[in-house]
Chains A and B, each alone.
Chain A
Amino acid sequence: MNREPVVIIGAGPSGLAAAAALAPHTPVLVLEREAQAGGIPRHCAHQGFGLRDLHRSLSGPAYAQRLVRAALDAGVRIETRTMVTGWASADALEVTGPGGRRTVSADAIVLATGARERARAARRIPGDRPAGVYTTGQLQQAVHLHHQGVGTRAVIVGAEAVSWSAVLTLREAGCAVVGLVTRHERPDAYAPMARLGSLALHVGVRTSTEVTAVLGHGRVTGVEVADRRTGAREVIACDTVVFTGDWIPDHELARLAGLMMDAGTRGPAVDTALRTSQPHVFAVGNLVHPVDTADVAALDGRHVVHAVRTRLAGLAPLAAPVPIVAEAPFTWVAPSLMRPGDIAPARGRLLLWSDALVPVPRVVVRQDGRVLARQRLPWPAAPGRVFRVPWSMLGAVRGDGGPVSVSLG
Chain B
Amino acid sequence: MSVVADVAIIGAGLIGAAIARELAGQDLDIVLIEARNDVGDGTSKANTAILHTGFDATPGTLEARLVRRGYALWQEYAARTGVPVERTGALLVAWDEEQQAALPTLQAKAEANGYLATRIVDAGTVYAMVPDLGPGALAGLTVPDESIMCSWSAAIAMATEAVLRGVRLELECRVDGATVLADHTVLHTSRGDIATRWVVNAAGLAGDTVDALFGHDRFHLHPRRGELLVFDKLARPKAPVIVLPVPSKVGKGVLVSPTIYGNVMLGPTADDIEDRAATGTTEAGFAFLLERGRRIMPSLLDEEVTTAYAGLRAAHDRDDFVIEADAAQRYVVAGCIRSTGLTASLAVGEEVLERMRAAGFTCTPRAVLPEPPQVPNLGEAGLRPYEDEARIAADPAYGEIVCFCERVTAGEIRDALDATIPARDLGGLRRRTRAQNGRCQGFFCGAAVRAALEGRGAR
Contacts and interface: CB of A to CB of B under 8 A. Distances in A.
A124 interface: yes
A212 B396 CA distance: 44
A119 B232 CA distance: 12
Given A101-B388, A126-B282, A119 B400 contact: no
Interface stretch (B104-112, B202-210, B273-281): B273-281
Given A126-B280, A212-B283, A248-B304, A142 B392 contact: no
Contacts of A142: 446-447, 450
A129 to B, nearest CB: 7
Contact of B442 (A97, A135, A213, A217): A135
B401 A122 contact: no
A83 B396 CA distance: 14
Contacts of A213: 280, 283
A142 B309 CA distance: 25
Contacts of A392: none
A134 B446 contact: yes
Interface in A134-152: 134-135, 137-138, 141-142, 145-146, 148
A345 B231 CA distance: 34
A85 B387 contact: yes
Contacts of B446: 134, 138, 141-142
Contacts of A97: 399-400
At the interface, is chain A mostly helix, strand, loop or mixed? Answer: mixed
B404 interface: yes
A101 B386 contact: yes
A146 B400 CA distance: 18
Interface in B422-438: 426
A33 B404 contact: yes
B401 A252 contact: no
A270 to B, nearest CB: 19
Contact of A126 (B285, B443, B451): B285
Contacts of B389: 100-101
Contact of B447 (A98, A126, A128, A148): A148
B305 interface: yes
B401 A99 contact: no
A184 interface: no
Contacts of B305: 121-122, 124
B441 A148 contact: no
B118 interface: no
A96 interface: yes
A380 interface: no
Residue among B277, B281, B404 facing the most chain A CB atoms (10 A cut-off):
B281
Interface extent on B, as a size class? 35 or more
B388 A141 contact: no
B4 interface: no
Interface extent on A, as a size class? 35 or more
A141 B444 CA distance: 8
B454 interface: yes
B127 interface: no
Given A85-B386, A122-B304, A128-B280, A148 B450 contact: yes
B313 interface: no
B286 interface: yes
A267 B147 CA distance: 34
B133 to A, nearest CB: 21
B396 A99 contact: yes
Contacts of A135: 440-443
Interface in B275-311: 277, 279-283, 285-286, 290, 304-309
A134 B307 CA distance: 14
B223 to A, nearest CB: 14
B393 interface: yes
Contact of A119 (B281, B396, B440): B440
Contacts of B441: 119-122, 135
A33 B286 contact: no
A142 B282 CA distance: 29
A85 B277 CA distance: 39
Given A137-B444, A141-B447, A146-B451, A124 B286 contact: yes
Interface in B354-378: none
A117 interface: yes
A148 B401 contact: no
A164 to B, nearest CB: 18
Contacts of B399: 96-101
A122 B441 CA distance: 9
A101 B308 contact: no
A150 to B, nearest CB: 10
Contacts of B426: 131
19 contacts: A33-B401, A81-B400, A81-B401, A96-B392, A97-B399, A98-B399, A98-B400, A122-B441, A124-B308, A126-B282, A129-B309, A135-B442, A141-B446, A141-B448, A142-B446, A142-B450, A213-B283, A217-B280, A252-B439
Interface of B: 229-230, 233-234, 277, 279-283, 285-286, 290, 304-309, 386-389, 392-393, 396-397, 399-401, 404, 407, 426, 439-444, 446-448, 450-451, 454
Kindly list the 5 A-B residue pairs having the minimum CB-CB distance in the complex, ordered from nearest. Answer: A119-B441, A128-B280, A141-B447, A138-B446, A98-B396
